[in-house]
Every structure is written in C-alpha cells, then in structure tokens.
Chains A and B, each alone.
Chain A
Amino acid sequence: MLRITNISKSFDDKNVLDSISGEFLPGKVNYIIGASGSGKTVLLKCIVGLLKPDTGSVFFDDMNLVTALFNQRKKILREIGMLFQGSALFDSMNVQENILFPLDRFSQLNCEKKIERVNFCLERVKLSGSNKLSMSELSGGMRKRVGIARAIALNPRYLFCDEPNSGLDPQTSIVIDKLIKEITVEFNMTTLVVSHDMNSVLETGDSIIFIHQGKKCWEGNREEILHSDNTWLNEFVFAGPHQKMLRDKIENRK
C-alpha cells in the first residue's frame, strides 16, 4: 500500500503543494486530477522521489521514501515502474533494448529469459514482434505502450503514470486506459495516475483525489465525482458546454 501524509512543496516563494495526504490501494487505479498548474505532477514527482518534499512522508508499505537511506531508497525504487508523459524512452535504443534496460541492470535472469520477459511485456501491451523497431518508427500510442512495457518489465508493485493520454487520440486513449486497468488488476499493482482527462477518470478511476491550487479539495470514486457538490471540482469536471449538458441530464435523472 502507498500512503502519503502532509506533503508540502514550494519553489522559491511559491507554494505548490499544501499538506496533501492520501492512501492508494493495490489492485486499484488511483487518480490524482486537477487543472494544469494545480501541482499534480509535482505531487507525483514527490511521491516517486524525483523531488524532495519540504514536509511530509511517502510510505511504501512501512518504508518512508523521504527519509530512507540510499540503499533503502534503491530497494523501494526497484519496486516502482513509471510511465512518463512523453514516454521517456531512450532514443538511442530500439524497443527491445529499452525494455531490456531495467532487466539488464537489476534482474538475475540469463539472456534467454530476459528476451522471454521482453516478449511477454510486449505481448501484454499488444506490441508483439516490434522488438527491433527504433523510437522514430513508433507512433505516440506505441511509444506509450512501450513505456508501459518497460515500466512493468521488473514486475513492479507500484505503477505511476504521468498523463498517460496526453497527445493521444480518443480511441488510443481508451486502449491505454484499459491496458493500465488490466495490468493493475492482473498484477495487483498499486497504480497512481496523474491526469486531467475526465474520460479516463470516469472510465477507470477506482479512487480519485482532486487537487486545486496545491490543496486536496476532494476525494472519492468515479460514481461520486458526478454528484459532488464541491464547486471547484464541478467547475473542473463540467468545464465545457457538453459536460454541463451531461451534468444537467444527471441532475434531471435524480
């Protein structure tokens, strides 16, 4: 289980995160949502240790990543897989080498078993046979899927996704959302997704935290989000005229 308590972070005089706490359960797709600039990516970076929070703790089971010594920290990080917003694949390597990278560093498997694992991961993200493709040959959706394959290569217990649907068309977004959901359930991972794509949230969000101006404003699940009376959340979720129409329909059904 992943638990964060009172995470605060500021850059110079600007307070970006203000005492955010939350709990994220295994086998569930947990979402952190909020408008652009609300601090959700900073929160994600604090959780995975890319940024050090000013105050607060990040517990992976009982181990606090913020205060962990180097070796403990290394141990925690090796149980983490992360899908970055731009996929962050290594341009100088092909698909297979990208997925092999964590396996080469941290697994004790022999060469044959590593390739088997690569093929398994590629099959899992429906990219079988694309081992030798270079990064320039991949579409946006394929890059995301290779990113997911690399993230799950070491069979991590925690999966973090930073805006997994950014830059993707609606259909590909649904494919990626479903893939994240399937993998989370299949491997009983604790998955945390940062997004502002409400389609994804409503499709796969088991537990949702809404952040507004660096503060946690709301917490609930995808059923509750449509009926919340939180003003900030409603402004975010029902931002456009179509969404407002949807809200009115929901209200009328009540």
Chain B
Amino acid sequence: MNKFKILTAIGDYMMFLKKLFFHREPFSVYIRNTAHEMVIIGVESVTIVFIISAFIGAVTVVQFAYNLENPLIPRSVIGLIVRDMTILELAPTITAIVLAGKVGSNMAGSLGTMKITEQIDAIEIMGINSASYLVLPKIIASAFMFPVLVTIAAFISITGGYFAGTISGAITEYDYVYGIREYFVPYNIFFMLVKSFVFALLISSICSYVGYNTKGGALEVGRATTVAVTNSCIAVLCADYVLAQILL
C-alpha cells in the first residue's frame, strides 16, 4: 500500500511539473515575478548563508587542526581539506539544507495558505495556469540564485577558516593560503555549481508541489511545510550521492 502511495506521489509530482510548462502564461509575465522571487530567495538569504558558512569554515579548521597531530603531515593540508570539503560537499549541501528550511518552508507555507484561502482558485478562475504562474518563477529564481549563494558560501567558509585558523594559532597564514592553492582542481567548482543547480530544482519544485497541493486548514499548512522541508532534504541528500557517483 505504501509502495503505491509513493508511486502515486511521484506520478502526481511529475504531472505537476508538466503542468508548469503547458498552457503557461506569456514569458513577459514571469520576468517580474522571477525578479521578485530572486530577491526573496537570494538577497534575503545572504545573511543566514554568510553566518552559517563562516562558522562551518571556522569549525572545520579548528577541528582538523586538533586532529592533525602527526608532525609528518604538513599543516597546509588543513587549508587543502577545508577547501575541498567546502567546495565538494559543505557549501552546496549544507547551504541547500539551510535553504530548504528557510526558502522551501516559505514556498510551501505561502502556497499552502494561498490554496486553503482559495487564492489559487481565484487565479484559476481568471483562466490563468496557477501552477505555472506561481511556481515557475520560484523554480527559475532558485535555479539562478542557489549557485550564487553556494559560491558565496564557499568563499565565506574558506575565509572563515582562514580567520579561525590564524587567530587561534592553529595554522599560519602562509600554510593556510598555500594549502587552499595546493592541488586545486577547477572541475570541483563545476561540480559544486551543478550540485547547487540540481538542489535548487529539487527544493523549489518539491516544496512548491507540497504547498500547492495542501488541503484542509491552518494545521495542514504547518504539516505541509514540515513535509516539504523533510522531503526536500531527503531528496537533496539522495541527489548528493547520485551526483557524486556520476560526476566524480
């Protein structure tokens, strides 16, 4: 029974995605909405991304320095590890999970509220494809803004590590900078951006799908928000593994 439920949900989700692109509104309609969503998703998330990634970088440096007791391993390895961990995993994945909580819950909550207060019906009655009109700008804006936020997160995380390492004396300025430049693989940046793009699509579409299909009252909106965030986090982690297998 549960197996069928999951299959039905996946089928519904696919139909929902199809609905976004068929009988959509003229392209000009989406430009303003997408710009507005870019502000909500991108600009308004910079602070939280900044704080979290700065601390992640700082903690990573301090913990690696603590574990790196062997005198045969150069201290510059800390910089290298922080860089690779940040670019390959921490920046895209942790940022995505944070954004699933902040942006995804906002999407699910606002769409859920619109659904139960019949605002979505009001749009439908005007002959507008409400799913496309409301959701497509969110997905496009996410696809643009997530890679930007993840890039910022990576930069801030490495910078945070630099300050934490040098101020605490765990690593010298020279070693850290040498470490983050050592064996640098530009492909990893591409991998980070691909990941952030895929995570953006997953989070925005799953949260929108759950919010758009909310039924009931205020209690169900809260429940939908929780489900949306949980499901999108699981999807992000699954996609993280799949992408690592495919692209690395």
Residue numbers of A with Cβ under 8 A of B are: 48-50, 70, 73-75, 77-78, 80, 82, 84-86, 88-91, 101-102, 105-106
Check A77 against B125 for contact (C-beta < 8 Å): yes
Select one of A50, A78, A101, A106 contacting B124, CB under 8 A.
A50
**Does chain A have a CB within 8 A of B5?**
no
Give the nearest-CB partner of B121 in chain A: A50
Chain B nearest CB, measured from A3 CB (Å): 19
Select one of A78, A85, A89 contacting B127, CB under 8 A.
A78
Chain A nearest CB, measured from B224 CB (Å): 17
Give the nearest-CB partner of B126 in chain A: A102
- Residues on A with C-beta less than 8 A from B119 are 88-91
**Does chain A have a CB within 8 A of B188?**
no
A78 to B118, CA, bound (A): 18
Give the nearest-CB partner of B122 in chain A: A88
Give the nearest-CB partner of A101 in chain B: B126
**Does chain A have a CB within 8 A of B128?**
yes
**Does chain A have a CB within 8 A of B63?**
no
Select one of A80, A86, A89, A106 contacting B125, CB under 8 A.
A80
Select one of A84, A105, A106 contacting B118, CB under 8 A.
A84
Check A70 against B117 for contact (C-beta < 8 Å): no
Do A105 and B125 contact each other (CB < 8 Å), given the known contacts A70-B23, A85-B118? no
Give the nearest-CB partner of A79 in chain B: B127
Check B118 against A88 for contact (C-beta < 8 Å): yes
Give the nearest-CB partner of A81 in chain B: B125
Give the nearest-CB partner of B23 in chain A: A70
Query: What total of chain B residues lie within 8 Å of the partner, measured CB to CB?
Result: 14
Residue numbers of B with Cβ under 8 A of A are: 23, 25, 29, 113, 117-119, 121-122, 124-128
- Residues on A with C-beta less than 8 A from B128 are 105
Select one of B23, B25, B121, B127 contacting A88, CB under 8 A.
B121
A89 to B124, CA, bound (A): 13
- Residues on B with C-beta less than 8 A from A86 are 117-118
- Residues on A with C-beta less than 8 A from B122 are 82, 84, 88-90
- Residues on B with C-beta less than 8 A from A88 are 117-119, 121-122
Check A105 against B121 for contact (C-beta < 8 Å): no
Can you list 7 A-B pairs, Cβ within 8 angstroms, ordered by A? A77-B126, A82-B122, A82-B125, A89-B122, A90-B119, A90-B122, A91-B113
Check A74 against B127 for contact (C-beta < 8 Å): yes
- Residues on B with C-beta less than 8 A from A91 are 113, 117, 119
- Residues on A with C-beta less than 8 A from B118 are 84-86, 88
13 further A-B pairs in the complex, CB-CB below 8 A; given A74-B127, A78-B127, A86-B117:
A48-B125, A50-B124, A84-B121, A89-B119, A89-B122, A90-B119, A91-B113, A91-B119, A105-B25, A105-B29, A105-B128, A106-B126, A106-B127
Give the nearest-CB partner of B125 in chain A: A82
Chain A nearest CB, measured from B136 CB (Å): 15
A73 to B23, CA, bound (A): 12
Chain A nearest CB, measured from B125 CB (Å): 5
- Residues on B with C-beta less than 8 A from A106 are 126-127
A126 to B32, CA, bound (A): 32
A48 to B122, CA, bound (A): 11
Check A73 against B127 for contact (C-beta < 8 Å): yes
- Residues on B with C-beta less than 8 A from A90 are 119, 122
Nearest first, the 4 closest Cβ-Cβ pairs linking A and B are A77-B127, A88-B118, A88-B122, A74-B127
Chain B nearest CB, measured from A254 CB (Å): 43
A101 to B118, CA, bound (A): 16
- Residues on B with C-beta less than 8 A from A82 are 122, 125
A142 to B90, CA, bound (A): 51
A89 to B117, CA, bound (A): 9
A73 to B128, CA, bound (A): 11
Chain B nearest CB, measured from A161 CB (Å): 12
A73 to B121, CA, bound (A): 15
Give the nearest-CB partner of A74 in chain B: B127
Give the nearest-CB partner of B110 in chain A: A92
Chain A nearest CB, measured from B102 CB (Å): 18
Chain B nearest CB, measured from A143 CB (Å): 11
Give the nearest-CB partner of B128 in chain A: A105
A107 to B228, CA, bound (A): 37
A156 to B128, CA, bound (A): 16
A75 to B126, CA, bound (A): 10
A46 to B65, CA, bound (A): 67
Chain B nearest CB, measured from A105 CB (Å): 7
Give the nearest-CB partner of B25 in chain A: A105
